[in-house]
C-alpha cells in the first residue's frame, strides 16, 4: 500500500506538521550508513511517548508497518525501509530524565545519543559503561535494540548488561512499562531482555534505565606484539587478574591488518614494530576515579610478557601522539577504503580456538581463491573478531562460499556467527543456517504472538 495526503494529515495531527518529514526535508536529515534508511520517504518524529503510542495505534489500525530509527549507524540494515512504511525517528525523545550518582543509575529517553548521555554523566564521574566509535551519533534506543558491544564489553558487559529497566511501545500501541532501576528483578519473564537485541521487531523502545559505572582514568597504553593469539590472550587474562590497575581496553589486530594499515597511513615507525609479530595488542590500563595509576604497571606488564613464550616486542606509548597513532591503526578504516568491496564479518569465537580458527579460515580461503585476503581485528577479551575478506576482484559471486568458510565450525565450538552488529536484513539468511531450528521456530512463534500483523520492522531478523 502507499500512503496518501489524508494519511499525512493524520500523522501531522499526531506529531505536528513540521515533524512529518518528506521530500526536501528528508534531504536535510542525516541518512546514516545504510542508503535505504529513508527508503520509506517518510520520517515521523514524535516528541512524546504518547505520540509514539498514537503513531503505532494509527499504523496498527491500517496495518501500516513501522521502521524505528535511532542514530542510523547500524551495520546490518535494521533501519532500511521502503515506500508505504512509516520510519519513526526517535531523535526528539532525547532527554536525560534522571541521574542518580548515589544509586549509580540514570533514566534516559531512547533518542538520546550515547555522547549526550555520557556528557550528562561526566560531571558525576560516571559512565554508561559502553564505548564504540559511533558514540556521537548512535542513540541509547538503538544500542539497546541492537545489544551493542564495543570495546568495554569484557568488563562492563554488552548493552544488555547495562540496562536496568526499559519502557517500550508494543505493536498494538500499548505501553510496556518496566522501568526498574535495580539489578534484581524477578517479576515473571524478564521481557526487557526480549526487546534488547530484537532490532525493533517487537516494539519501539522509548525509555531506558541504565546502570552506571565510575569513569576510569587511563594511565598507560602499551603496544605489544606476539607470535600467536593465545599468548596475547594469556597476557590480557593475567593483566586482568593483577591488582592495583584495571585493563580498560585490549584490542587486537592481526598481522595483515596492522602492517597494511601502517603502510596505508604511512606510519613507518609502527610498521617497523610489526616485523616479527603475528598479533598486535593495544593494552590500555587505568584506575577508578582520580587515581593516577600505578608506577609499577609497566614493569608488571613486561614481566608478564617475558613469561610468555611467543612474546615478540612491546612498547609503552609515552606521548599522546604515539597513543593516537596506535589507535588510528585500530580504528581508521584505511583497509576498507583500499578494498571497498570487501566482505565484513563479526563473529565471536570460542576463546580457546582463535588461532586455530584464523588459520583454518585462511587455508580455506586460499583454497577457494588465492587472491582472497583475510584481515582481522578484534575485541580480544571477548573473543569477538571483526574479520574482513578482501580482494581486488568483485566478491559477489564468491560471497556464499566465503561466508561458509568464515562461519564454519563457529557454532560447534561455542562461538556465534553474529557477535555485536545484529541481524537486520544482512544476516537473515545466515541466521536461518546458524542457529538451532528450535530457536528459529521459537523466534517465529514469539514474533507472531506479539506482532500478529507483522507491522514492527517487518522483514528484519525473522520472518
Per CB under 8 A, which of residues 242..261 are in contact with a second copy? 242-244
Q: Does 442 bind a second copy (CB under 8 A)?
A: yes
Q: Does 438 bind a second copy (CB under 8 A)?
A: yes
Q: What single string gives the DSSP state of each residue in 237-296? A: HHHHH-SS-EEEEEEEEEHHHHHHHHHHTT-HHHHHHTTS-SEEEEEEEEEETT----TT
Q: Which of 99, 395, 419, 426 binds a second copy (CB under 8 A)?
A: 419
d(CA 250, CA 449): 42
DSSP 307: T
Instruction: Report the residue number, 35 or 188, with the smaller CB distance to a second copy.
Output: 188
- Grid cell for residue 395: 566478491
Q: Which of residues 86-105 bind a second copy (CB under 8 A)?
A: 100, 102-105
Q: Does 241 bind a second copy (CB under 8 A)?
A: yes
Q: Minimum distance between the CB of residue 87 and a second copy, rounded to whole angstroms?
A: 22
Sign of the torsion formed by the C-alpha atoms of 127, 131, 137 and 143: negative
Q: Which of 68, 314, 422, 459 binds a second copy (CB under 8 A)?
A: 422
Region from 8-16, 61-69, 112-120, 239-247 binding a second copy, contact rule CB under 8 A: 239-247
**Quick check: helix, strand or coil at residue 38?**
helix
Q: Which of residues 191-220 bind a second copy (CB under 8 A)?
A: 191, 193-194, 196-198, 202, 209, 214
Q: What single string gives the DSSP state of each residue in 334-367? A: HHHHHSTTPEEEEEE--GGGHHHHHHHHHHHHHH
Instruction: Report the residue number, 168 or 224, with the smaller CB distance to a second copy.
Output: 168
Question: What are the b/e assignments for 345-371, b being 16+ CB within 10 Å?
Answer: bbbbbbbebbbebbeebbebbeeeeee
Q: Does 408 bind a second copy (CB under 8 A)?
A: no
Q: Does 429 bind a second copy (CB under 8 A)?
A: no
43-44: strand order across its sheet: 20-21, 43-44, 86-89, 66-69
d(CA 138, CA 202): 20
Q: Does 296 bind a second copy (CB under 8 A)?
A: no
CB 149 within 8 A of CB 143: no
Q: Minimum distance between the CB of residue 19 and a second copy, rounded to whole angstroms?
A: 25
d(CA 28, CA 26): 5
Q: Does 380 bind a second copy (CB under 8 A)?
A: no
Instruction: Report the residue number, 91 or 346, with the smaller CB distance to a second copy.
Output: 346
Q: Minimum distance between the CB of residue 443 and a second copy, rounded to whole angstroms?
A: 5
Q: Which of 77, 418, 426, 459 binds a second copy (CB under 8 A)?
A: 418
Q: Which of 12, 41, 137, 237 binds a second copy (CB under 8 A)?
A: 237
- Grid cell for residue 456: 514492527
Region from 134-142, 185-193, 220-228, 313-321 binding a second copy, contact rule CB under 8 A: 185-193
Instruction: Report the residue number, 243 or 319, with the smaller CB distance to a second copy.
Output: 243
Half-sphere exposure in the Cβ direction for 232 (13 Å, CA): 34
Place of cell 537485541: 197
Q: Does 157 bind a second copy (CB under 8 A)?
A: yes
Largest CA distance in the chain: 73
Region from 88-96, 143-151, 327-335, 399-407 binding a second copy, contact rule CB under 8 A: 143-151
Q: Minimum distance between the CB of residue 325 and a second copy, rounded to whole angstroms?
A: 28
Burial of 210 (0-12, 13-18, 19+ CB in 10 A): buried
Q: Which of 17, 404, 414, 463 binds a second copy (CB under 8 A)?
A: 414
Q: Minimum distance between the CB of residue 449 and a second copy, rounded to whole angstroms?
A: 4
The closest of 381, 354, 386, 382 to 236, measured between CA atoms, is 381
Q: Which of residues 102-121 bind a second copy (CB under 8 A)?
A: 102-105, 107
Q: Does 431 bind a second copy (CB under 8 A)?
A: yes
Half-sphere exposure in the Cβ direction for 187 (13 Å, CA): 11
Instruction: Report the residue number, 143 or 391, with the smaller CB distance to a second copy.
Output: 143
Instruction: Report the residue number, 341 or 413, with the smaller CB distance to a second copy.
Output: 413
Region from 25-33, 236-244, 309-317, 328-336 binding a second copy, contact rule CB under 8 A: 236-244
d(CA 430, CA 404): 9
Q: Which of 174, 298, 425, 454 binds a second copy (CB under 8 A)?
A: 174
Instruction: Report the residue number, 57 or 92, with the smaller CB distance to a second copy.
Output: 57
Q: Minimum distance between the CB of residue 314 and a second copy, rounded to whole angstroms?
A: 21
Amino acid at each position: 500500500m502507499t500512503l496518501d495526503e489524508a494519511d499525512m494529515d493524520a500523522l501531522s495531527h499526531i506529531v505536528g506538521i513540521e515533524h512529518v518529514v518528506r521530500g526536501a526535508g528528508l534531504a536535510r536529515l542525516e541518512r546514516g550508513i545504510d542508503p535505504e534508511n529513508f527508503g520509506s520517504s517518510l520520517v515521523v518524529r514524535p516528541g512524546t511517548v504518547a505520540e509514539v503510542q498514537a503513531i503505532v495505534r494509527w499504523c496498527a489500525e491500517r496495518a501500516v508497518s513501522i521502521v524505528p530509527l535511532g542514530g542510523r549507524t547500524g551495520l546490518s540494515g535494521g533501519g532500511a525501509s521502503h515506500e508505504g512504511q512509516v520510519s519513526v525517528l526517535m531523535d526528539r525523545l532525547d532527554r536525560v530524565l534522571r541521574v542518580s550518582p548515589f544509586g549509580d543509575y540514570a533514566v534516559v529517553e531512547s533518542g538520546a545519543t550515547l555522547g549526550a548521555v555520557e556528557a550528562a554523566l561526566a560531571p558525576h564521574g560516571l559512565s554508561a559503561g559502553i564505548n564504540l566509535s559511533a558514540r556521537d551519533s548512535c542513540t541509547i534506543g538503538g544500542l539497546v535494540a541492537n545489544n551493542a558491544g564495543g570495546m568495554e564489553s569484557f568488563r562492563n558487559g554488552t548493552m544488555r548488561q547495562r540496562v536496568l529497566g526499559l519502557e517500550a511501545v508494543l505493536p498494538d500501541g500499548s505501553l510496556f512499562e518496566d522501568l526498574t532501576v535495580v539489578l534484581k528483578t524477578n517479576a515473571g519473564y524478564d521481557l526487557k531482555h526480549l526487546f534488547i537485541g530484537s532490532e525493533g521487531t517487537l516494539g519501539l523502545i522509548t525509555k531506558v534505565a541504565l546502570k552506571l559505572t565510575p569513569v576510569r582514568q587511563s594511565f598507560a597504553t602499551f603496544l605489544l606484539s606476539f607470535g600467536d593469539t593465545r599468548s596475547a590472550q594469556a597476557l590480557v587474562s593475567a593483566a586482568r587478574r593483577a591488582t592495583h590497575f584495571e585493563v580498560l581496553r585490549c584490542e587486537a589486530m592481526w598481522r595483515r591488518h596492522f602492517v597494511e594499515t601502517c603502510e596505508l597511513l604511512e606510519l613507518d615507525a609502527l610498521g617497523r614494530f610489526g616485523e616479527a609479530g603475528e598479533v598486535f595488542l593495544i593494552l590500555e590500563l587505568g584506575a577508578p576515579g582520580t587515581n593516577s595509576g600505578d608506577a609499577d604497571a609497566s614493569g608488571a606488564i613486561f614481566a608478564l610478557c617475558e613469561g610468555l613464550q611467543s612474546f615478540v616486542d612491546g612498547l609503552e606509548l609515552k606521548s599522546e601522539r604515539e597513543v593516537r597513532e596506535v589507535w588510528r591503526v585500530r580504528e581508521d578504516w584505511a583497509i576498507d577504503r583500499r578494498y571497498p568491496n570487501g566482505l565484513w564479518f563479526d563473529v565471536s569465537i570460542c576463546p580457546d580456538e582463535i588461532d586455530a580458527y584464523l588459520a583454518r579460515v585462511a587455508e580455506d580461503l586460499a583454497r577457494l581463491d588465492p587472491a582472497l585476503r583475510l584481515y582481522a581485528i578484534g575485541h580480544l577479551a571477548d573473543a569477538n573478531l571483526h574479520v574482513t575478506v578482501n580482494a581486488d576482484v568483485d566478491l559477489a559471486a564468491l560471497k556464499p562460499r566465503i561466508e561458509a568458510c568464515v562461519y564454519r565450525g563457529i557454532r560447534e565450538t561455542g562461538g556465534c556467527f553474529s557477535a555485536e552488529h545484529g541481524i537486520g536484513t544482512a544476516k537473515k539468511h545466515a541466521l536461518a543456517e546458524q542457529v538451532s531450528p528450535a530457536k528459529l521456530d521459537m523466534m517465529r512463534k514469539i514474533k507472531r504472538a506479539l506482532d500478529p500483523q507483522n507491522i514492527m520492522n517487518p522483514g528484519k531478523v525473522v520472518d
